[in-house]
Each structure stands twice: as C-alpha cells, then as structure tokens.
C-alpha cells in the first residue's frame, strides 16, 4: 500500500514537471496570444471616461481687475482692410527751414543768435563789416545821384522865372527836367539795391546824406504774406502763445558761419527752422502703388502710428491724414518709392534766462507706421488683436455673462498688428459683451480649471444638489 501511494505521488510530480517543461519550451507559441488579452483586461479595468472639452470659465471680480480685463458689446460694422507701411517724419521743403545768407562780402564781427535760440522777425542775427567794393560803389553812386538831383533842382528854381519872361530858351528847362528824372530813377535803383543788400531805410538815408555804411546787420526776415483767399498757416513763422502775448518767431537750427570768418555775397550764415508744417514720408514697394494711388484719389484717411510719442502729454491731434502726392521715382538702394502726407505739428515753449525756447511734439527723423486702407469689408465684427486666441486652426473669443466667460469659436477674415476682423456668422450676437483683451490668459485659466476636475458652469445648492448654470 505504501509503495503504490508513493508511486502515485511520484507519477503526479513527473506529470507536473513534464507540463511545466512543455510550457517552457513552447512559450513562443502561446505567449503572444495570452499577453494581449491580459493587457486588454488590465486596460479595461483601469480605463477612465473621456474628458469633455472645457468651454466655460469662471472669474471673480478681483481676478478680472488683476488681469485688467475689459468687456464691451460688439456690433457689425464696416472695416477697411489695411496694409502697414513704414515711414518717418521729414522736413517740408520750402516751408520747414529758411536759410539766412550774407548780403555782401564782409567779415562776421558779431553773432547775436545761436542754435536753439528763438528770434522774431527783425531781430539781429549777425553783424558784418563790409569789404564789398560793389556795395561801396553803390553807396557812392547813390550819394552822387542825390547831390546831382539837388543841384539840378536848384538850377530849375533859378531858371524857370527867366524862361517864363523869355530870358532863356524853354528847351533848357526841358533838358534840366529830363536830367532830374534820370537822376531820380538812378536814386530809386540804388536804394532798392541797398535794400536787397541788407541795409535798412535809416542807413540808406544816411548814405544819401554822405555817411557811408561800413557794417551791416543781418536780421531775421519777415514771414511770407498769407494768401487772403486761404486760411493756411504760413510756414515761415511760428505762433508762440504765452498768456495774452502772441508773436511770430523762428528757431535757430544751425549756425554755419564763425566769428571772424570772411563770407561772400550769398553765402549761407545760418538756418532758421519752423517745424510746424512737416511731412510724413512713407516708404512703399512698387506692388503697393495701386492701393496708394486709390487711397490718394479717394482722399481716404491714413492711420498714422507715431513711435515714441507720449500722447497724454499733448493736446488731442485733431487732423486728418491724407496722401498729398506720390513720388514718381524709385530709390535705387532700397527699391522703394515715397509718398507724402502733410502733418501740422504741435509745440509749446518755456522761459529760461529771459529767453523763449521751443519744444516740438514731432521731430524730423521720428519713425512712424502708416496703415493704408486697401479693401472694404462690410458687415464684420472688429475686435482688438488681444481679444482672440488661437489653437491650431481654431480661433476663440470669450463672451461674458456675469462671472462666467464662454469660449466661442469664430472665423477670422483678416488680422493685423492692432485689430482682428471676424465674420458675422451668428456666433457673436450684436449687443452681447465680449472680452476685448487677455484672451490668451483666459484660455490658460480655462484649461487650468478644467484640469482641476470641477466644471466652472456648475454650482452647489444648500441641499447638496449640483446644477448647471442658468
């Protein structure tokens, strides 16, 4: 009995060992079939339900203030599609600057106005000691013609009574009157010549009396006379206002003559500036020429974005910017052509050491960006660029409903650096409030709230029940 029991145990162990060895040596056949089923079973046990895409965000009033969030109602409107073109502010030729030249050959003995100084028409700029032989001869001829006129006039006074009584021929009187007319014409010409050389009326009167001028004062010229048919402000002068005091003045921009320097007639001594009338110069490529021409012909307003401009420190710039003319030549280095927009500058002044100094808002060389309208888009919704966030091909905006912000997909028709244009396809109803900025931040907060597991559009009642927002 014991032997048979032992044999059964040994035979059982042998069978188990044989099965184990067979399974080991045949594992390449049965393992691929068994492992996927185990993996699928394990996956089925630990599988979680799909996460619903978040669409609603909840923000407290304090959070909205921290983000600087602004919401406004939207409405359909007409929008001009624009192209952005770089540019800069430049002087307006013939209006911004005015050169002061030497009236005759001389030496600079005094300089009365220096760069940055403000001068009024008639103020002294330079004192010149004359070396001009032509000017000296003109003075001499003026004096000689004046004396000759006096002598002829005295002769006429003596001889007219004799001519009337027949003591002398009347032809003598006629000859003297002709000489007098020629001398008066010569005097008028010499006086005009001296005026153009910088002498004033008092100096010319002293020359006629025999006191020649050896120095001349170069003064600031008067402003150009305004056309009575127009109200355009003349560019040769600046309106300085201080209380009830108002007068025309120039600013000395550049000094080109030195003390003791000998200058020739017509040589540039200094430049007077008036930056009230300037140009905004745009630099466009040839492909933009048709759009610019259409904007010029249609007198469309151009949006000008001034770089480094502190608008809060100046009055509101109430002027329309329209293209005046387009250049008909292309720059060989940049391959661009220019177009020009008039700009009326703003200024203020301050007093220091008894002098008035000018500060301009816009300065030549300042960079600008020009937004030129090229295409009209009707019945669209326009939002700031910060009001839209993108995720791949999708674009979203956020509609405000109290503390809740709903993320809504939209279709983008056009966008630039400042604005984004959306299709009015019913996704955004007019009159509803939408976030005007911080869309990217709102989208990040929305995803963070969704990851926390609690939906933002639900609330818990006192009895413990949970309901969606209504």
From the list 154, 68, 423, 112, the residue with the least C-alpha distance to 272 is 112
Nearest 5°: phi and psi at 49? -65, 150
Mean pLDDT score, 315-331: 91
Q: Rg for the chain (alpha carbons), in Å?
A: 46
Question: 85-93+272-375 architecture in CATH?
Answer: Beta Barrel (2.40)
Could you tell me if 181 and 152 are in contact, meaning their C-beta atoms sit under 8 angstroms apart?
no
Query: Could you read off the pLDDT of 404-435 as tens digits, one per residue?
Result: 899 999 999 988 888 899 999 888 989 899 99
Q: Element (H or E) spanning 358, and its range?
A: strand 355-360
Name the residue with tokens 């250049």: 327
Query: Could you read off the pLDDT of 198-257 as tens digits, one per residue?
Result: 777 888 888 888 888 888 888 888 765 444 443 333 333 334 433 333 346 788 989 999
Q: Domain ranges for the chain, please list them.
A: 2-46, 56-79+378-468, 85-93+272-375, 104-224+233-270
Exposed, middle or buried: residue 113 (CB in 10 Å: 0-12, 13-18, 19+)?
A: buried
Question: Rounded CA gap, 301 and 323, in Å?
Answer: 8
Question: Rounded CA gap, 205 and 197, in Å?
Answer: 15
Question: Rounded CA gap, 370 and 365, in Å?
Answer: 15
Q: Could you tell me the pTM of the whole model?
A: 0.63
Residue 469: pLDDT over 80? no
Q: Which CATH class is domain 56-79+378-468?
A: mainly beta
Mean pLDDT score, 7-28: 66
Q: How many CB atoms neighbour CB 304 within 10 A?
A: 19
Question: Rounded CA gap, 414 and 288, in Å?
Answer: 18
Residues in Cβ contact with 447 at an 8 Å cutoff, skipping those fewer than 6 apart: 54
Could you tell me if 233 and 89 are in contact, meaning their C-beta atoms sit under 8 angstroms apart?
no
Query: Could you read off the pLDDT of 266-315 as tens digits, one per residue?
Result: 899 999 988 888 999 999 999 999 999 999 998 899 999 998 888 888 98
Q: At what angle do helices 2-25 and 27-46 cross, to 10 degrees?
A: 80
List the alpha helices (DSSP H) in 128-241. 133-165, 170-196, 201-208
| DSSP sequence for 224-288 | PPPPTT--PPPTT-EEEEETTEEEEEEEEEEE---TT-EE-TT-EEEEEE-TTEEEEEEEE-GGG
């Amino acid at each position: 009995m014991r032997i048979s029991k032992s044999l059964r145990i040994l035979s059982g162990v042998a069978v188990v060992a044989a099965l184990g060895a067979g399974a080991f040596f045949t594992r390449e056949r049965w393992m691929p079939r068994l492992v996927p089923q185990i993996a699928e079973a394990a996956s089925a046990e630990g599988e979680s339900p799909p996460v619903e895409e978040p669409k609603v965000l909840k923000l407290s009033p304090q959070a909205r203030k921290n983000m600087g969030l602004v919401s406004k109602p939207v409405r359909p409107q007409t929008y001009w599609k624009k192209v952005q073109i770089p540019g800069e502010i430049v002087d307006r030729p013939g209006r911004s600057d005015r050169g002061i030249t030497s009236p005759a050959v001389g030496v600079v003995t005094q300089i009365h106005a220096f760069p940055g100084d403000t001068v009024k028409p008639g103020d002294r700029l330079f004192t010149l000691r004359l070396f001009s032989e032509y000017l000296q001869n003109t003075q001499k001829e003026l004096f000689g013609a004046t004396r000759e006129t006096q002598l002829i006039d005295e002769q006429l006074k003596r001889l007219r009574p004799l001519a009337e009584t027949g003591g002398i021929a009347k032809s003598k009187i006629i000859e003297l009157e002709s000489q007098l007319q020629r001398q008066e014409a010569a005097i008028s010409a010499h006086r005009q010549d001296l005026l153009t050389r910088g002498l004033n009326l008092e100096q010319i009167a002293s020359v006629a009396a025999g006191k020649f001028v050896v120095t001349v004062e170069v003064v600031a010229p008067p402003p150009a006379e305004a056309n009575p048919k127009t109200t355009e402000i003349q560019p040769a002068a600046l309106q300085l206002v201080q209380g009830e005091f108002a007068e025309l003045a120039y600013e000395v921009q550049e000094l080109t003559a030195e003390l003791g320097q000998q200058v020739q007639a017509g040589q540039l001594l200094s430049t007077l500036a008036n930056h009230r009338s300037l140009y905004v110069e745009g630099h466009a490529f040839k492909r933009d020429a048709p759009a610019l021409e259409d904007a010029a012909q249609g007198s469309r307003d151009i949006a000008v974005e001034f770089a480094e401009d502190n608008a809060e420190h100046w009055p509101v710039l109430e002027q329309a910017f329209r293209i005046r003319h387009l250049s008909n030549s292309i720059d060989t280095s940049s391959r661009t052509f220019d177009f020009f927009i008039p700009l009326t500058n703003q200024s203020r002044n301050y007093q220091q050491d008894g002098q008035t100094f000018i500060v301009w808002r816009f300065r030549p060389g300042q960079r600008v960006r020009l937004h030129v309208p090229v295409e009209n888009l009707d019945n669209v919704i326009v939002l700031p660029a910060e009001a839209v966030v993108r995720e791949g091909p999708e674009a979203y905006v956020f509609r405000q409903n109290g503390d809740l912000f709903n993320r809504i997909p939209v279709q983008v028709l056009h966008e630039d650096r400042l604005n984004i244009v959306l299709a009015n396809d019913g996704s955004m109803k007019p009159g509803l409030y939408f976030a005007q900025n911080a869309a990217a931040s709102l989208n990040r907060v929305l995803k963070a709230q969704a990851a926390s597991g609690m939906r933002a559009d639900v609330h818990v009642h006192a009895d413990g029940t949970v309901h969606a927002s209504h």
